[in-house]
Chains A and B, each alone.
Chain A
Amino acid sequence: MDDLRLTERSVDQKEIKISASNVQVYYGETHAIRDVSVEIEDKTVTAFIGPSGCGKSTFLRCINRMNDTIDTARVSGDILIDGEDIYDKRVDPVQLRAKVGMVFQKPNPFPKSIYDNVAYGPRIHGLARNKADLDDIVERALRRGAIWNEVKDRLTAPGTGLSGGQQQRLCIARAVATEPEVLLMDEPCSALDPIATGQVEELIDELRESYSVVIVTHSMQQAARVSQKTAFFHLGNMVEFGETGKIFTNPEDSRTESYISGRIG
Chain B
Amino acid sequence: MTDASAASAAAPPAVRKSSLHQLDARTKKRNASEARFKAYGLGAVLIGVAFLVALLYAIISNGTPAFTQTFVTVEVPLEPEAVEAAEASFVKTSAYREIIYTALAERLAEAGIETDMGPEELGQILSSSEAGQMREFVLANPDRVGGTVEFRFFASSRVDGYSKGRVTRESLARDNNLSAAHLDLVDRMEAAGIVERSFNWDFIFGADASDSRPEQAGIGVAMLGSLFMMFVVLFLALPIGVAASIYLEEFAPRNRWTDLIEVNISNLAAVPSIVFGILGLAAFIQFGGLPQSAPLVGGLVLTLMTLPTIIISTRASLQSVPPSIRAAALGVGASKMQSVFHHVLPLAMPGILTGTIIGLAQALGETAPLLLIGMVGYIATNYPDGVASGFLDPNSAMPAQIYEWAKRADPAFYERAWGGIIILLLFLMTMNIVAILLRRRFERRW
Contact = CB atoms under 8 A, between A and B. Distances in A.
B326 A262 contact: no
A120 B331 contact: no
A103 B185 CA distance: 89
Interface stretch (A39-47, A92-100, A205-213): A92-100
Nearest to A99: B333
B259 to A, nearest CB: 13
Contacts of B329: 110, 120
Nearest to A105: B324
Contacts of A171: 328
Contact of A120 (B336, B342, B446): B342
A104 B327 contact: yes
B331 A101 contact: yes
A175 B332 contact: yes
Interface in B297-349: 322, 324-336, 338, 342-343, 347
B445 interface: yes
A198 B330 CA distance: 28
A92 to B, nearest CB: 9
A121 interface: yes
A178 interface: yes
Contact of A108 (B328, B336, B347, B445): B328
Interface in B164-213: none
A174 interface: yes
B140 interface: no
B332 to A, nearest CB: 4
A144 to B, nearest CB: 15
A262 B1 contact: yes
B332 A101 contact: yes
Given A69-B326, A108-B324, A94 B446 contact: no
Interface in B49-94: none
B338 A124 contact: yes
Most buried by A among B253, B254, B331, B336: B331
Contacts of B253: 71
A36 interface: no
A66 interface: yes
Nearest to A184: B331
A165 interface: no
Nearest to A98: B333
Contacts of A66: 327, 330-331
Given A66-B330, A71-B254, A120-B342, A111 B347 contact: yes
Contacts of A177: 332
A120 B446 CA distance: 17
A104 B336 CA distance: 18
A245 interface: no
Nearest to B347: A111
A254 to B, nearest CB: 17
Given A71-B254, A94-B335, A120-B342, A110 B1 contact: no
A109 B446 contact: no
Majority SS at the chain A contact face: helix
Contacts of A178: 332-333
Nearest to A102: B331
Interface of B is mostly: helix
A120 B332 contact: yes
A215 B328 CA distance: 17
From A99, A109, A110, name the one whose CB has the most chain B CB atoms within 10 angstroms. Answer: A110
Contacts of B338: 124
Given A120-B342, A124-B338, A158-B446, A111 B331 contact: no
Nearest to A263: B1
A255 interface: no
B325 A125 contact: no
A143 interface: no
A160 interface: yes
Contact of B332 (A69, A97, A106, A161): A97
A69 B250 CA distance: 10
A94 B333 contact: yes
Contacts of B335: 94
B340 to A, nearest CB: 12
A227 interface: no
Interface in A72-100: 94-95, 97-99
Nearest to B321: A111
B328 A111 contact: no
A256 interface: no
A241 B278 CA distance: 70
Contacts of B445: 111
A64 interface: yes
Interface string A161-195: 10000000001001101100000000000000000
A221 to B, nearest CB: 18
A121 B332 CA distance: 6
B376 to A, nearest CB: 48
A141 B327 CA distance: 20
A178 B445 CA distance: 25
Interface in A114-173: 120-121, 124-125, 158, 160-161, 171
Contacts of A160: 446
Contacts of A97: 330-333
Contacts of B343: 110
B328 to A, nearest CB: 4
B327 to A, nearest CB: 6
B334 A111 contact: no
Contact of A69 (B327, B333, B342, B347): B327
A160 B343 CA distance: 14
B117 to A, nearest CB: 77
A198 B275 CA distance: 67
Interface of B: 1, 253-254, 322, 324-336, 338, 342-343, 347, 445-446
Closest 3 CB pairs of A and B: A98-B333, A108-B324, A121-B332
17 contacts: A64-B331, A66-B331, A71-B253, A94-B335, A97-B331, A102-B331, A106-B324, A108-B325, A109-B328, A110-B328, A120-B334, A121-B334, A124-B332, A124-B333, A124-B334, A174-B328, A175-B331
Interface of A: 64, 66, 69, 71, 94-95, 97-99, 101-102, 104, 106, 108-111, 120-121, 124-125, 158, 160-161, 171, 174-175, 177-178, 262-263
Given A108-B328, A111-B325, A161-B446, 15 more contacts: A69-B326, A69-B330, A94-B333, A101-B331, A101-B332, A104-B324, A104-B328, A106-B324, A109-B328, A110-B329, A110-B343, A111-B446, A120-B329, A121-B333, A124-B342
